[in-house]
Structure 1
């Protein structure tokens, strides 16, 4: 449908609106799908509520399965990457430290959710990111 480019805190985001149904807008941010629910009446400037389109969540997102063999590790909170402890091709076990990020003035460890191999690292040290952004692709 429509494509937009945003620059937030020095980071570029390509946003593509794919579907609009009532108050729900389906969109992709840098290739990651989201559903945004717009409130009917906006009295002041508010940020739309982002809802993961793949599955209902009960806690902060950790890994989203893309296929039977590949999954993505996503940012549990908005923040900044402090250090990356793995590289592409590394074999990791469940609970291994992948990276450390600063969020809400605290250091947060991002751990492997399952055993696997690091296919690609989608972030770099010092990069700011939003909740739900893909950090690492694993197989």
Structure 2
């Protein structure tokens, strides 16, 4: 499913994502309009992906010789989230390249069947010192198998 070029992602459900992570909202997440501010959605994407990577690999990913730098994020918003909801973040693999990974994410309110937001989150792996692209580390690639099959190919 292409979340940004035609397919309607409002039909996604928690079961469409192989990994689900609970993320509590914080008092400070709500803005002057009484809902979770849009920038917090991006923080939830980052927290969900990197928290899962640490758990799935069993290593502190910050200590790997290659780092996953975020090179693209997108979000489509459908409904509001509010403190004190516990949000469920769904993670699935859109594409696995030589040095890059693209994730699809869904954020679900505590009592909602439909996603409040869907997103895209892309990492490019770089060597820690030179910041030049390198292949996705083996530990990361192995963990990504838990997310299902994706196309191997060139870096986007």
Determine which structure has the larger helix proportion and give its number.
2
TM-score by length of 2: 0.28
Structure with more of its chain in strand, by fraction: 1
Q: TM-score, normalised by structure 1?
A: 0.30
Query: Higher relative contact order at CA 8 Å, sep ≥6: structure 1 or structure 2?
Result: 2
